[in-house]
Structure 1
Amino acid sequence: MHSLDWVVIGLYFLVMVAIGWWAKRRVHTAADFFTAGGKMPWWLAGISHHMSGYSAAVFVGYAAIAYTTGFAVYIWWAISITIACVIGSFVFAPRWPRLRQRLGIISPLEFLSTRYNVPTQQVLAWSGTVLKIFDVAAKWAASAILLQVFAGVPLSVGILLVGGVTLIYSTIGGLWADALTDMGQFIIQFVAAIALVIATMASLGGVSSISTIWERLPASHSSPFAGDYTVWFFLAYILINTVSYNGGTWNLAQRFIAAPTGSSARKSLLLSAGLFLVWPLVLFFPMWAAPLILPDLADPSQSYALLAKTLLPAGLIGLVLAGMFSHTMAMTSSDANAISSVVVRDIIPALRGSRAPLTSRRELFIGRLATFLFIGLSMALALNASSFGGVLGLLILWFGALVGPIAIPMLLGMLKPFRRSGPSAALSSWVVGLLVFATIKYVIPTQIADLGTATAQTVSVVSPILASIVVYVVVGWVHPWRNETSDALVASLDSDLVEQIAAPTASKLASEPVA
């Protein structure tokens, strides 16, 4: 990279830290730190949801699929997310801020102690929190690899640089800092992506190349479904993304909880859906055109980076790299905020037992400390990734398996049709989902692999979710659970204008047996 590119990268990091420091003025309580005090504008929440919805993997892994397969990557990835967000904008998103209004939650798992009981809440909280550390560590390593490819920076330096900047602004400013930096990162990414699109079109004959490239590429590249990316693959990912993008992934749930009202949360998710519908067309165009500019690449995953280095002048290369960083930093900072909220409001109260609740000031201090420690520990794991060998990959894999089983009791537990599914249904769905994944990965991996790469991946991810859904519904039907407080809570989530209900104390819930 040119020295001007380094200047751009340096300025980018400084701007992120400056935004975090400015956001600090808006943080006075734990609610401000974790949920922006329930005052986040819908447009900011929508952009933040979009930016936190994917990482630098898009510019590496998905770039390889776009290079080898073509338009199908837009259909199964972007369109499936768009559909999932539209569904969720009416079914799930409005219920998250209503939970905050009624129970004062600042953690996506906090309502589970009222909806089910404390043991159920703790199982889901601990399993998700521990494994998320390894997932974030992998994201730091991926970002460092990008910096190494572009500039030859050692992995350790890259991890410390990207992770250190994120640690500073996330610890200082909380969710406000996360959302505002997401906004700044969106603008930077917008400029960088447009610059590469213009450079790509210029190298291929102008604006007309938007349509003419498909005549020069293999015929299958213009097909909406190609190779392993079939209609069934697309439908499976609609289910997977519906679970993930509507709060099953905790950091995205935080964006909804921070909305003032249910209608505001709905608008934010519709905005994110619109961005997922339109913006990937801009991001993917250079990736689709890459075979014409860089034919016969040995490693298609490098296509986006190599295009930037080939077509862009000094300065803009640094901007493109900053745009790649932006998504990973958005995801990891929001992950840290969500995990810290679970630690402060779900795990610590259970460990403290009957002792007096923490004060708001104390919660804020512990929230910042938890954010700092979470990011620091994930960076330490990333720095020592080679020491873990296959273990790191194993745990990342298992985190992917747990997303669905953890999310099903959360999401379906907010809906009236499933109000009879209680703690036993929630825990059973979690256990069975995990067992199904383990069976697929470690008992019959050869048979699954014979289905093809994409199909095997789909089966591995969607099977635990489907198993969890079936078990959750069946156990609720066979062994119906009735609890007046839980029923009242679920019923109250249909509207913004419902009188606040009283939540039972953690000590009372802890004394109740698991149904």
Structure 2
Amino acid sequence: MNSIIDTVVIVVFSAFVLGIGMMFARTGTNLKSFFAGGEAVPWPIGGLSLFMSFFSAGTFVAWGSIAYQYGFVSITIQWTMAVGAMVTAFFLAPKWKKTGNLTAAEFIKQRLGITAQKTYVNIFLAVSIFSKGVVLYPVAKLVCASLGFPLMPTTVVLGFLMISYTAVGGLWAVMVTDILQFVVLLAAVLIVLPLTNEAAGGWSSFVQNAPENFFNVFNGEFNAWFIVAFSIYHIFFIGGNWTFVQRYTSVDTPVSAKKVALLFGALYIISPVIWMLPPMMFKVIDPSIMDAENAYLYVCKMVLPPGLMGLMLTGMYFSTSATANTTLNVASAVFTNDIYKSLINPAATDKQLMRVARLSSWAFGIGMILIALIIPAIGGMVEVVLSIASITAGPLLAPPIWALFSKKLSGKVTLQITISTLLLNLFLKLIFPMIAGFSFNRAEQMIMGIGIPFLLLLINELLIKKPSSDYLSYLETKTAQNNESEPTQEEVKEVKVQNRFGLRVIAGSLAFTALLVFILSFITTAGKALTAGVAVFILLAAIIPLRASKKIKIND
């Protein structure tokens, strides 16, 4: 593989994305515009951004590994995400928007009290930085393995690039680059799939030569109980994770929030099939590889010529930066809005808050890089991802979601349930196996991790007979907020200007991406027509945001 061409492709796309982020440096002048897009982000952009925020190179490493080893069950696992999104769309996303809060932490403070908020903020920031540091590692590993760069400096460079446009441009910078990243990734995978199918001898040859049980809906340790538990987990995760809540609160209405989640769910019905077929087909091509986590990389290196391999690596990196950037933006929002503004400097000016917002983005980003650097000493990607899910999802996400609907849940009970079940999950995962001599399987870990907090919340709901004092205080707070003045005409105009600018940048970015992909169609030694066709598709897609921007009337 000619790594020089691939390196040029990666550098050009990366510089382009960084430049896009810098274009939004002056559009976010206050917290609402910087962290919530003025609460007027178009729902299709919010939905695509949510999709990319959920996605990372870990998808190719973790689920690609399962696809190579077990087959179709890797698609079944990802369909649980569509289940979670659909439930969120009809029951949770509109509810979050109706709270009127900028962040989930702000809702927790108003509904459950400042003590609960402080505890949740500290845990959320720690878990977020760790979990997103985990997803930075595999993409650095992929780039290093493909282009021969050393791992540590590659991780640092990729991490700093990721932080730069988030710290400067805020939510709109994240979402615009999310859209571009989605298109680049889609283009890369649409090229990989037919080339892999050809290498496998065609669809019929793939089906005939696949291992026994390879097309089973459930397989290996990923049985029906695991899928049910993972579906429930994703209801809590997609419906309650603070990163995703921001996508529901940044649109204009509860109906738009519902559409954001519906679009995410629809994409997660289709996309896993497209993503997982290449490593599944690679099982037929080469069934002997031992390092299953690199199966996706191996198949890409086998079928992609120079230039297109760089495009695929760029897509993998961008997908990782999308999920990490969203977490950076939300972590910074939580720190700025819910710690600095609420607890440290309530009288802070917009200029001071924006300075803190950008500095905190850098601080949390550096934390992610440090975590990514120590991942090799922790264990495999699949184990880390699923362990974080089983330990933290129920204790951290279930109580705030319950509080959206319950009048009886108090801040004190919330903390008791969260801390006790979090400690219990850590004990069952880390200490119990050493004492008892055996460990629970993945399905059992997931069921207990989510089921026990849910059961305790249900018991509290049945035992308590009247609304909690925290809920009554929350009602008073919301009544006072509803009586506050509407946004000024100047603020409304600023939001419209920002949204129109964002849509135009998206259109221009897609057109530029189409040009670069079209140039690759001349350079590549295979799949020329396919690559050119993808370029035309991207160019046509650029028309959609361009037309949408023309519909925004600034002075109406």
Shorter-chain TM-score tier? 0.7 to 0.9
Is 1:460 matched with 2:437?
A: no
The CA deviation at 1:328 is 1.1
The CA deviation at 1:389 is 6.6
Match of 1:128 in 2: 124
Considering only aligned residues, what root-mean-square deviation do their CA atoms show, in Å? 2.8
Taking the TM superposition and a 5 Å limit, the aligned residue runs for 1:23-34 are: 23-34=24-35
Match of 2:183 in 1: 187
* CA pair 389-263 structure 1, distance change in 2 beyond 3 A: closer
The answer on whether the counterparts of 1:429 and 1:469 sit within 8 Å (CA) in structure 2 is no
Q: Residue 107 of structure 1 aligns to which amino acid in structure 2?
A: T
Q: Following the alignment from structure 2 to structure 1, what is the Cα–Cα distance between the partners of residues 35 and 147?
A: 36
The answer on whether the counterparts of 1:80 and 1:238 sit within 8 Å (CA) in structure 2 is yes
Match of 1:230 in 2: 223
1:14-53 Cα deviation digits (max 9, x unpaired): 1211221223343121111111111111101111111111
The CA deviation at 1:464 is 2.5
Match of 2:418 in 1: 430
Match of 2:5 in 1: 4
Select the residue among 455, 462, 465 that pairs with 1:470.
455
Report the number of matched residues: 481
Q: Following the alignment from structure 1 to structure 2, what is the Cα–Cα distance between the partners of residues 124 and 461?
A: 21
The CA deviation at 1:3 is 1.1
The CA deviation at 1:501 is 3.5
Q: Following the alignment from structure 1 to structure 2, what is the Cα–Cα distance between the partners of residues 459 and 341?
A: 35
Taking the TM superposition and a 5 Å limit, the aligned residue runs for 1:80-95 are: 80-95=80-95
Is 1:501 matched with 2:501?
A: no
Select the residue among 393, 408, 411 that pairs with 2:401.
411
1:277-314 Cα deviation digits (max 9, x unpaired): 00111111111101121221121222110111111110
Q: Following the alignment from structure 2 to structure 1, what is the Cα–Cα distance between the partners of residues 122 and 97?
A: 23
* CA pair 185-394 structure 1, distance change in 2 beyond 3 A: closer
1:91-150 Cα deviation digits (max 9, x unpaired): 1011222222xxxx3222111121111101111111111332222322222222111211
* CA pair 181-480 structure 1, distance change in 2 beyond 3 A: farther
Is 1:317 matched with 2:309?
A: yes
Worse overlay, 91-100 or 279-288: 91-100
The CA deviation at 1:153 is 1.2
Q: Secondary structure at the match of 2:404?
A: coil
The answer on whether the counterparts of 2:393 and 2:449 sit within 8 Å (CA) in structure 1 is no
Select the residue among 293, 296, 318 that pairs with 1:301.
293
The CA deviation at 1:422 is 1.1
Q: Residue 272 of structure 2 aligns to which amino acid in structure 1?
A: P
Q: Following the alignment from structure 1 to structure 2, what is the Cα–Cα distance between the partners of residues 236 and 446?
A: 25
* CA pair 205-39 structure 1, distance change in 2 beyond 3 A: same
The answer on whether the counterparts of 2:39 and 2:249 sit within 8 Å (CA) in structure 1 is yes
Q: Following the alignment from structure 1 to structure 2, what is the Cα–Cα distance between the partners of residues 124 and 65?
A: 33
The answer on whether the counterparts of 2:229 and 2:446 sit within 8 Å (CA) in structure 1 is no
Q: Residue 405 of structure 1 aligns to which amino acid in structure 2?
A: P
Q: Residue 178 of structure 2 aligns to which amino acid in structure 1?
A: D
Q: Following the alignment from structure 2 to structure 1, what is the Cα–Cα distance between the partners of residues 71 and 229?
A: 20
Match of 1:149 in 2: 145
The answer on whether the counterparts of 1:440 and 1:448 sit within 8 Å (CA) in structure 2 is no
Q: Residue 402 of structure 1 aligns to which amino acid in structure 2?
A: T
Q: Following the alignment from structure 2 to structure 1, what is the Cα–Cα distance between the partners of residues 390 and 217?
A: 26
Q: Following the alignment from structure 2 to structure 1, what is the Cα–Cα distance between the partners of residues 48 and 159?
A: 22
Taking the TM superposition and a 5 Å limit, the aligned residue runs for 1:95-494 are: 95-100=95-100, 105-206=101-202, 209=203, 212-246=205-239, 248-352=240-344, 356-383=346-373, 401-415=391-405, 418-445=406-433, 456-479=441-464, 482-483=467-468, 486=471
The answer on whether the counterparts of 1:489 and 1:501 sit within 8 Å (CA) in structure 2 is no
* CA pair 450-218 structure 1, distance change in 2 beyond 3 A: farther
* CA pair 173-382 structure 1, distance change in 2 beyond 3 A: same
Q: Secondary structure at the match of 1:227?
A: coil
Q: Following the alignment from structure 1 to structure 2, what is the Cα–Cα distance between the partners of residues 449 and 72?
A: 29
Match of 1:512 in 2: none
Q: Name stretches of at least 5 consecutive residues in structure 2 with no aligned partner.
A: 485-556
Match of 2:20 in 1: 19
Q: Following the alignment from structure 2 to structure 1, what is the Cα–Cα distance between the partners of residues 432 and 201?
A: 50
The answer on whether the counterparts of 2:226 and 2:442 sit within 8 Å (CA) in structure 1 is no
Q: Residue 17 of structure 1 aligns to which amino acid in structure 2?
A: L
1:198-248 Cα deviation digits (max 9, x unpaired): 211222344xx1x552222123001111121211111001111111111x3
Q: Secondary structure at the match of 1:23?
A: coil
Q: Secondary structure at the match of 1:221?
A: coil
* CA pair 25-198 structure 1, distance change in 2 beyond 3 A: farther
Q: Following the alignment from structure 1 to structure 2, what is the Cα–Cα distance between the partners of residues 447 and 192?
A: 48
Match of 2:37 in 1: 36
Q: Following the alignment from structure 1 to structure 2, what is the Cα–Cα distance between the partners of residues 70 and 223?
A: 8
1:397-428 Cα deviation digits (max 9, x unpaired): 5686233211112111111xx22111122112
Worse overlay, 367-376 or 476-485: 476-485
Q: Residue 256 of structure 1 aligns to which amino acid in structure 2?
A: Y
Match of 1:508 in 2: none
The answer on whether the counterparts of 2:62 and 2:293 sit within 8 Å (CA) in structure 1 is yes
The answer on whether the counterparts of 2:69 and 2:292 sit within 8 Å (CA) in structure 1 is yes
1:301-353 Cα deviation digits (max 9, x unpaired): 2211011111111000011111111221011101111111111122224533x
Query: What TM-score results when the alignment is normalised by the length of structure 1?
Result: 0.87
The answer on whether the counterparts of 1:159 and 1:382 sit within 8 Å (CA) in structure 2 is yes
Q: Following the alignment from structure 2 to structure 1, what is the Cα–Cα distance between the partners of residues 315 and 464?
A: 51
Query: What TM-score results when the alignment is normalised by the length of structure 2?
Result: 0.80
Q: Secondary structure at the match of 1:256?
A: helix
1:450-492 Cα deviation digits (max 9, x unpaired): 57xxx72333344232111122222343345635783596899
